[in-house]
């Protein structure tokens, strides 16, 4: 079975994506901070590995990926999904520590997990794999009062593009999925004023990317609720 690692797998999109990959025949390693939430995700997955992990801590990330390789021998797909909205408010109202925490989770965490996956994908035989980063609509268009979150998601786009270039020589395909208003706990506040959509469709999109041969790349995909205020306001 191919092996997928999903971060932020204890709830929301991470849980739905993990279930989608499992349904498509992947063994799925579940990374997240809360063991109980990861266990709940794992309950309906035949081949799951529960790995409580703080993606902001290098030693924690390295230990998680070592456990995946020890159990299953390789990493075929990484879904960098862990993230937080972070502080809301105009830039002068945002505490510096809250800014740093958001960067640590959303961007440094993605870098550390990509770093671990990339190294393993280079070493394994057959070599290669796929990294899929969750960018968000905020990688393109911000909401008011979201300087920290928006900055990290723009940074994720840069990370994705750099990894994609570096991965070419090693059969590592890297792409980004930008999601707008999937109906999860994180977006519950938008549901009263903006359209949302079933996050199962995000899982379908991620599975479609994950199952492609490594000779095919999806550099970027945008999936959103039809009618959300993104392309224009009406």
Report the catalytic residues. 149
* Sole residue written with tokens 């938008």: 190
State the Cα–Cα distance between residues 81 and 58, nearest whole angstrom: 17
Q: DSSP per residue over 168-215, as a string?
A: GGGTEEEEEEEEE-BSSGGGTTTTTTS--B-THHHHHHHHHHHTS-TT
The CA distance from 63 to 73, in Å, is 14
Q: Which helix (H) or strand (E) holds 77?
A: strand 77-80
Alpha helices, DSSP H, located in the chain? 12-23, 35-42, 58-72, 96-103, 109-123, 147-167, 200-210
**Sequence-separated (6 or more) residues with CB below 8 Å from residue 12:** 184, 185, 186, 199
Q: Would you state the structure tokens that stand for residue 181, as one six-digit string?
A: 């208003």
């Amino acid at each position: 079975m191919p092996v997928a690692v999903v971060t932020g797998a204890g709830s929301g999109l991470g849980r739905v994506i993990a279930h989608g990959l499992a349904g498509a025949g992947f063994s799925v390693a579940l990374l997240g901070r809360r063991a109980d939430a990861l266990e709940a995700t794992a309950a309906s997955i035949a081949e799951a590995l529960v790995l409580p992990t703080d993606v902001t801590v290098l030693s924690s990330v390295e230990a998680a990926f070592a456990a995946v390789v020890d159990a299953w021998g390789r990493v075929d797909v990484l879904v960098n999904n862990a993230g937080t909205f972070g502080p809301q408010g105009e830039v002068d109202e945002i505490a510096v520590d809250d800014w740093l925490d958001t960067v640590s989770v959303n961007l440094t965490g993605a870098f550390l997990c990509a770093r671990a996956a990339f190294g393993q994908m280079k070493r394994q035989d057959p070599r290669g794999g796929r990294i899929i980063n969750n960018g968000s609509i905020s990688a393109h268009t911000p909401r008011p009062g979201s300087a920290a979150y928006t900055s990290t998601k723009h940074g994720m786009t840069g990370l994705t593009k750099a990894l994609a270039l570096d991965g070419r020589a090693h059969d590592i395909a890297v792409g980004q999925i930008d999601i707008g208003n999937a109906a999860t706990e994180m977006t519950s506040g938008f549901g009263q004023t903006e359209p949302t959509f079933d996050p199962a469709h995000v899982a379908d999109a991620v599975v479609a990317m994950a199952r492609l041969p490594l000779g095919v790349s999806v550099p970027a995909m945008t999936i959103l609720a039809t009618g959300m205020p993104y392309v224009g306001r009406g």
